[in-house]
């Protein structure tokens, strides 16, 4: 056992977890950590605001399915990461945030830059630790990563008082840890799966609803096999967008408030749903009582607390959804069950899809949402990673950007955090430097974390910001137009800033486009660029996101373009 400082032990423990980079910003209470970071092989990626460090770690975690790590100092540094923790936790993204804290003997004395971050963060983390002795650090880090990455992943906070970082102690690094109150996995119940298969086979209008859990567990192949074997159409939640190739004949697209018209239509017609890794959020299913009416629900989830939380289920299978789906496929292969592709339901689904493809009215402008996002899809290589911000552009991305390679689309869907997409894209680029990364952004959201341009440029993490610019807080404006009789307040961004100049001032490139051809060229330029590229795409500020299911109503009640 070697005797080293807590800070040194922290770096060793992170290295043992395979951490290659951390996103962070130093301050008084985490200086000992930074001094050891200086001596370690771990790369530090400097942010301009701690919230962005947390979002970068989140983006890194979603793409790599390994916990992303962020560092912040005590007090305001720590409180600045709260939105990042809450965002990651709401979307079950693995993250380990490590904050400095005032020395143990100063805790509770309202010391300079002291905040009770354990208390503040409690409702928005999966778990938190505050080691009081340096010797605890190796075990705490091991447990932290174990909790963040297993079961339903989430955000873990490790708050380390400054003296605990400085003190030396004999350190023991455990190879594995057991936590007696933590049971991340349950073996799926095979009998329940057998019953579920019977129910699916006896239903005349079955649908698969794929949620974010499919992406988190990487169950793409299993989902596709199951859908193809049974010829069941697949809708997704917005979080589950891209769990299933969206150009596949069985794909109907995301349901929900701004779901695809055909997906909402098919979902409301279905008599049985196999819901995989979803929590039935209000944004996905609309009014809870309406959704479950006349619908038999089979629910697969790793988190037993999600069963029956928002919807009444007929059959529940608790366990990792990938493991559950494998059992489904195995049992179906044994039964040699395969539905013919000439079933009435599938034909109907195909007709409904075709109808909406022909009949959904789109904005006529040259740079309409549908046209620019389809252009992006046309130009981007299939494996490219896309993140989004939050607002109209996000919902247009859901409607008009088809995910072809599963698991390449990421968005802040649960908390709905404006400003998430750009730093998350940078984190994604750190995880997969070999792939193009695009943040589909709106001007309002991009404003919130645009100073991450510095990180992107200086730390050599080039991404494309596809800025759908209506100079407006567009989604709020749409609600004001729809529900508040056009009393527009607090939504006009007044063409400020100039995004081309803004990008250039950070050493990034800014390109303003005026038509689709220029847009295509700008994307190609961005794909080849060594620095971040902000593509400013001016659109009609009055363009609405449609269809639209108003809050508190049923998926049946879609507002359509007039």
Contact with other proteins (CB under 8 A) among 3, 122, 204, 337: 122
CA atoms within 13 A on the CB side of 30: 25
> How far out from the chain centre does Cα 271 lie?
29
CB of 96 to other proteins, least distance (A): 15
Residues 437-476 that bind other proteins (CB under 8 A): none
Comparison of 180 and 342: residue with beta carbon closer to other proteins: 180
Scanning 89-97, 118-126, 205-213, 245-253 for contacts with other proteins by CB under 8 A, the matching segment is 118-126
Whose Cβ is closer to other proteins: residue 36's or residue 149's?
149
- Which range touches other proteins (CB under 8 A), out of 27-35, 78-86, 217-225, 306-314? 306-314
Neighbours of 181 (CB within 10 A): 4
Q: What distance in Å separates the CA atoms of residue 126 and residue 146, rounded to the nearest whole number?
A: 11
Cβ 88 to other proteins, closest distance in Å?
Answer: 17
Among residues 127, 173, 288, 479, which is the contact residue for other proteins, using CB under 8 A?
A: 127
Strand partners, 533: 464, 509
In terms of CB distance, is 56 or 156 closer to other proteins?
A: 156
- Applying CB under 8 A, the span of 177-185, 244-252, 332-340, 484-492 interacting with other proteins comes to 177-185
Minimum distance of other proteins from residue 308's CB (angstroms) = 7
CB-nearer residue toward other proteins: 318 or 513: 318
Of the candidate residues 31, 118, 500, 527, the single one contacting other proteins (CB under 8 A)? 118
- Provide the CB-side half-sphere exposure for 113 (13 A, CA): 18
Binding residue for other proteins, selected from 11, 72, 88, 147, defined by CB under 8 A: 147
- Residue 123 binding other proteins, by CB under 8 A: yes
Asked whether position 126 contacts other proteins by CB under 8 A, the answer is yes
Residues 491-550 that bind other proteins (CB under 8 A): none
In the complex, least distance from residue 176 CB atom to other proteins, rounded to whole angstroms: 16
Give the Cα separation of 157 and 480 in Å (integer): 38
Peptide bond into 31 cis (omega under 30): no
> What single string gives the DSSP state of each residue in 126-140?
SEEE--SSGGGHHHH
Q: Is 348 in the site for other proteins (CB under 8 A)?
A: no
Helix then strand then coil, % of the chain, to nearest 5: 45, 20, 40
| 119 touches other proteins by CB under 8 A | yes
Q: Per rule CB under 8 A, is residue 179 in the interface with other proteins?
A: yes
| CB-based contacts of 293-300 (< 8 A; 24+ apart in sequence) | 295/270, 295/271, 296/199, 296/203, 296/271, 296/272, 297/272, 297/273, 298/196, 298/199, 298/200, 298/272, 298/273, 298/274, 299/275, 300/188, 300/213, 300/274, 300/275, 300/276, 300/324, 300/325
Residue 312 CB, nearest distance to other proteins (Å)? 9
| Residues 266-305 contacting other proteins, CB under 8 A | 303-305
| Distance separating alpha carbons of residues 268 and 555, to the nearest angstrom | 7
Question: Which CB sits closer to other proteins, 119 or 364?
Answer: 119
Give the interface size with other proteins as a residue count (CB under 8 A): 17
Of positions 182, 288, 346, 479, contacts other proteins by CB under 8 A: 182
Identify which of residues 49 and 126 has a Cβ nearer to other proteins in the complex: 126
What is the DSSP secondary-structure string of 223-238?
HHHHHHHHT--EEE-S
E-assigned strand segments in 191-314: 206-210, 234-236, 251-254, 272-276, 296-301
The residue among 125 and 376 lying less far from other proteins, judged by its C-beta, is 125
Tokens of 91: 């979307």
Give the CA count within 13 Å in the CB-facing half-sphere of 37. 22
Q: How far is the CB of 280 from other proteins (least distance, A)?
A: 13
Q: Would you say 284 or 313 has its CB closer to other proteins? A: 313
With b for 16 or more beta-carbon neighbours within 10 A and e for fewer, the 478-497 pattern comes to: bbbeeeeeeeeeebebeeee
490 binds other proteins (CB under 8 A): no
Active site residues: 50, 112-113, 162, 475
Residue with Cβ nearer other proteins (35 or 116): 116
Q: Which of 170, 308, 514, 561 forms a contact with other proteins (CB under 8 A)? A: 308
Calpha distance 422→52 (Å, rounded):
9
Tell me, residue by residue from 78 to 117, as one string, x for binding to other proteins by CB under 8 A and - for no binding: ----------------------------------------
Burial class (CB in 10 A: 0-12, 13-18, 19+), 391: buried
**Binding piece for other proteins, criterion CB under 8 A, among 21-29, 70-78, 179-187, 252-260:** 179-187
How far is residue 375 from each of residues 242, 300, 369, 400, 413, measured CA to CA in Å? 18, 36, 10, 10, 24
Residues lying near other proteins in the complex (CB under 8 A) are found at 118-119, 122-123, 126-127, 147, 179-182, 303-305, 307-309
């Amino acid at each position: 056992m070697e005797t080293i400082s807590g800070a040194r032990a922290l770096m060793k423990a992170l290295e043992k977890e395979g951490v290659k980079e951390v996103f962070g910003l130093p301050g008084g209470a985490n200086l000992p950590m930074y001094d050891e970071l200086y001596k370690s092989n771990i790369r530090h990626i400097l942010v301009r605001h701690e919230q962005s460090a947390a979002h970068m770690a989140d983006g890194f975690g979603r793409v790599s399915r390994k916990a992303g790590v962020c560092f912040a100092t005590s007090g305001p540094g720590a409180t600045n990461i709260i939105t990042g923790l809450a965002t990651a936790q709401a979307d079950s993204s693995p993250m380990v945030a490590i904050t400095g804290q005032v020395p143990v003997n100063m805790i509770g004395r309202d010391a300079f830059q002291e905040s009770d971050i354990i208390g503040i963060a409690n409702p928005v983390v999966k778990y938190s630790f505050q080691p009081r002795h340096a010797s605890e650090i190796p075990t705490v880090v091991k447990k932290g990563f174990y909790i963040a990455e297993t079961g339903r992943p989430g955000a873990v906070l490790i708050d380390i008082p400054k003296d605990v970082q400085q003190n030396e102690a004999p350190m023991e690094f455990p190879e594995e840890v057991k936590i007696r109150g933590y049971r991340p996995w349950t073996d799926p119940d095979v009998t329940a799966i057998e019953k579920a298969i019977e129910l699916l086979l006896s239903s005349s209008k079955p649908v698969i609803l794929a949620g974010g859990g499919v992406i988190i567990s990487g169950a793409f192949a299993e989902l596709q096999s199951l859908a193809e074997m049974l010829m069941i159409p697949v809708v997704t939640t917005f979080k589950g967008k891209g769990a299933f190739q969206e150009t596949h004949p069985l794909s109907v697209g995301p349901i929900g408030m701004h779901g695809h018209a055909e997906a909402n239509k098919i979902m409301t017609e279905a008599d049985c749903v196999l819901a995989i890794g979803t929590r039935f959020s209000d944004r996905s299913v609309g009014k809870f009582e309406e959704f479950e009416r006349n619908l038999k629900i089979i629910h697969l989830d790793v988190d037993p607390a999600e069963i029956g939380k928002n919807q009444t289920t007929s059959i529940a299978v608790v366990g990792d959804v990938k493991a559950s789906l494998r059992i489904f496929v195995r049992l179906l292969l044994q039964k040699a069950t395969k539905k013919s592709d000439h079933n009435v339901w599938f034909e109907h689904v195909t007709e409904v899809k075709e109808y909406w493809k022909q009949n959904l009215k789109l904005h006529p402008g040259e740079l309409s949402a549908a046209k620019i996002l389809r252009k992006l899809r046309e130009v981007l290589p299939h494996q490219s990673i896309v993140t989004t911000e939050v607002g109209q552009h996000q919902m247009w991305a859901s409607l008009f950007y088809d995910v072809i390679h599963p698991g390449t689309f990421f968005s802040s869907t649960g908390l709905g955090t404006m400003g998430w997409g750009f730093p998350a894209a940078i984190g994604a680029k750190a995880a997969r430097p070999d792939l193009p990364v695009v943040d589909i952004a709106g001007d309002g959201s991009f404003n919130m974390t645009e100073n991450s341009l510095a990180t992107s440029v200086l730390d050599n993490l080039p991404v494309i910001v596809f800025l759908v610019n209506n100079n407006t807080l567009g989604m709020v404006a749409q609600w004001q137009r729809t529900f508040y009789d056009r009393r527009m307040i607090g939504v006009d961004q007044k063409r400020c800033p100039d995004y081309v100049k803004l990008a250039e001032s950070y050493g990034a490139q800014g390109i303003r486009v005026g038509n689709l051809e220029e847009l295509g060229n700008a994307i190609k330029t961005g794909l080849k660029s060594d620095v971040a590229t902000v593509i400013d795409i001016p659109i009609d500020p009055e363009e609405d996101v449609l269809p639209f299911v108003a809050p508190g109503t049923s998926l049946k009640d879609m507002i359509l373009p007039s």
